[in-house]
């Protein structure tokens, strides 16, 4: 439960999604992270009770959405429905996280370069590689592979080249996994150094959120979608 007595840093710790709301209303949770939520809102002339209610509503919604999917039920779906699920549940979310993290990773590199360049420079490079890999992977799925899989499933016969494209997707999943493992290593599994600012901590939490969703995303494609497709085109 978020209250007005909590510090901004504690609000962000408990509910990382608060950063988007704070950014919208220009509440400084970075340099002002030690300030209480109530004091920060009053300084901005914002209504405390309704703002706190919004934060709690959004935190509750995020918690509900974080509940893992019923993976067993996914196996009963057909190929077009599974593709729609993956696109709706993961592609949009991961793109938004990549966009947000692109700015955050660069921000902490600039602000904390002197003290932490040993981890931030490799993180900056690894994240850039992962972002490029995933963005290209998503668009090829959406524009080429997924449409071919849907058409094949509807006819019951695999289109020419679609199985080779699936193998390529699996290889790209492996490449993304290697980059993620390197990011986990350089960040000590997303553990920020002691004494850093709230933005630094938010960046690592959002990196962890991205990685956890990517792992589930890849699992659903490798272990659910591709076997279901093979079943649908027998």
| Segment 100-125, tens digit of pLDDT | 999 999 999 999 999 999 999 999 99
Coil, strand or helix at 81: helix
18, 137, 149 from 23: Cα distances, Å: 9, 30, 40
Rounded to the nearest angstrom, the gap between the alpha carbon of residue 89 and the centroid of all alpha carbons in its chain is: 11
| Whole-structure pTM value | 0.73
CA dist., res. 194 & res. 112, Å (int) = 12
- What CA–CA distance (Å, rounded) separates 2 from 100? 23
Distance from the first to the final alpha carbon of the chain: 51
Q: How do the pLDDT tens digits run along the chain, 234 residues long? A: 899 999 887 888 788 778 878 878 878 775 566 789 999 999 989 999 999 999 999 888 877 655 455 667 788 889 999 999 999 889 999 999 999 999 999 999 999 999 999 999 999 999 999 999 999 999 999 999 999 999 999 999 999 999 999 999 999 999 998 999 999 999 999 999 998 998 999 999 999 999 988 988 888 898 889 999 999 997
Q: Give the SS3 label for residue 30.
A: coil
- Residue that has been written with the tokens 């360049």 in this structure: 117
| Phi, psi of 18, deg, nearest 5 | -65, -25
* Helices 198-219 and 162-186: angle between axes, nearest 10 degrees: 150
List, in sequence order, every residue forming a beta bridge with 36; answer none if it has no partner. Answer: 7
Task: Please say whether the beta carbons of 19 and 12 come within 8 A.
Answer: yes
149 phi/psi in degrees, rounded to 5: -65, -40
């Amino acid at each position: 439960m978020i209250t007005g007595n909590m510090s901004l840093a504690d609000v962000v710790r408990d509910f990382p999604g608060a950063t988007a709301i704070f950014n919208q209303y220009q509440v400084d949770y970075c340099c002002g992270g030690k300030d209480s939520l109530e004091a920060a809102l009053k300084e901005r002339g914002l209504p405390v009770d309704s703002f706190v209610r919004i934060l709690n509503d959004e935190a509750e919604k995020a918690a509900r959405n974080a509940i893992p999917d019923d993976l067993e039920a996914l196996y009963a779906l057909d190929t077009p429905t599974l593709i729609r699920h993956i696109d709706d549940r993961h592609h949009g979310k991961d793109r938004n996280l990549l966009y947000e993290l692109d700015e955050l990773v660069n921000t902490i590199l600039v602000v904390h370069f002197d003290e932490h360049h040993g981890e931030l420079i490799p993180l900056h490079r690894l994240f850039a590689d992962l972002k490029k890999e995933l963005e290209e992977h998503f668009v090829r799925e959406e524009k080429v592979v997924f449409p071919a899989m849907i058409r094949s499933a509807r006819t019951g016969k695999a289109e020419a080249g679609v199985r080779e494209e699936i193998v390529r997707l699996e290889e790209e999943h492996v490449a993304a996994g290697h980059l993620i493992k390197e990011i986990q290593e350089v960040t000590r599994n997303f553990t920020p150094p002691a004494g850093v600012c709230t933005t630094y901590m938010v960046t690592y939490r959002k990196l962890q959120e991205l990685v956890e969703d990517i792992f589930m995303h890849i699992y659903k494609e490798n272990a659910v979608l591709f076997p279901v497709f093979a079943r649908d085109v027998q």
